[in-house]
Amino acid sequence: MKVSSLRPVLWTLPIAFGLWFFTFALPIGNFWLKLSFSALLLASVGLKLSRNEASTIFSFKKRHLLVGPISALLLYGIFWLGKEVSTILFPFASNEISSIYHNKAQLNLTAIGLLLFFIMGPAEEIYWHGFVQRSVSQQFGPTSGILITSVVYALVHIFALNLMLFLAAGVCGLFWGWLYQREKSLIPVILSHSLWDLSIFVLFPLR
């Protein structure tokens, strides 16, 4: 293993933590615009550092157009079931889930949906799975790549001080990490992430 090959990941992670702190912990500015800016900045860094792998990362197969929506529907079902179970087991779960949606008042739903679908979903996938997971997997293997990336992705959400959001980020990280490893392309993962975001935050919120 060459530690030097992981240096790009290691020096970008503090940027990711700083941006998510800025987005979730600092009560200034519009949450959705801050999140869009943060995701776009990370995606730009990830793209620049992955430019030699672009043709592989964004390889396309026709079945991706089916895999993306089906996987988004499957993940939505997992979250629906998770919400039902967690609200029974944990008294605090319902309030924490509802608080995730409080920021919707900062912007109209159409704008939120457009930002989620066209910016946040694709941008997060480009950085976290197209760059971080791919780099870690090359050094430690695919399973470790998925697990390590998922843990770090969950940890950056710690600044929201919301256990349910932290767990949700971990589940999403594992799911999309597995999908990326299986399909060897970001196309279905971006479709899955963007459609899931749009469904769970705008079209069919779980609260």
Structure confidence by residue, pLDDT tens digits, 122-177:
999 999 999 999 999 999 999 999 999 999 999 999 999 999 999 999 999 999 99
58: which 2 tokens? 């964004």
Q: What is the mean pLDDT of the chain?
A: 95
Contact of 112 with 194, CB cutoff 8 Å: no
24-45 pLDDT tens trace: 999 899 999 999 999 999 999 9
- Judged by DSSP in three states, 122 sits in helix
- pLDDT attached to residue 4: 52
